[in-house]
Amino acid sequence: MNPTSEELAMVILARMGLMPRKKGATEKMHRVLLEFYERAKASYRMKQPHLAVMTVEEMGYYAGITRQTMYDYLHRWTALKVITKTTYIADSKVVVGYKLNGNTLEQTFERSTTVLQEHIELTKRYISELQRLVKNEKIADAQQRNHEAEEPEESDQKVSINA
């Protein structure tokens, strides 16, 4: 199983949930990841951090989609901490872009893994709390039904005493 870098990049993005959800939307999203990696290597090699940054327009170009569509996908990439937002100054202009959240792909995905693990742990706590709430609600409902069932008997007794 000797995949190419493009095939493996597609598999990784698909497993992370970063590929487009609509079938046939774009098969080029993996190129964004590969370009981020190439830029990070060049930036590290030349010791110029701004070389690692890509604008949303550039990301859209590599993915073969419009800038606006890339913004739709960007949220998932940043939520998983695969990329981070950054700014730099070029030609006396402030440029806003994104870069890998690590010097290498491994470092980037280690950070993403940490985010995912924290998310899963928080979800586990939510599930435990939900289970506790459901249990307490059932107990409260049962107590309410028992209380309501006891009240009519008491009122029936009062009526018979008065009669």
- pLDDT tens track for 96-126: 999 999 888 899 999 999 988 998 888 888 8
Domain that holds residue 23: 5-162
Quick one: tokens of 54?
A: 């890509």
Judged against a pLDDT cut of 70, whether residue 153 lies above it is answered with no
57 or 66, which is more confident? 57
CATH of residue 109's domain is: 1.10.10.10
CA distance 11 to 8: 5
Query: How many domains, in total, are found in the chain?
Result: 1
pTM, two decimals, is: 0.68
Burial 123-145 (b: 16+ CB within 10 A, else e): eeeeeeeeeeeeeeeeeeeeeee
pLDDT greater than 70 at residue 46: yes
How far is residue 69's CA from residue 56's CA, in Å, rounded to a whole number? 10
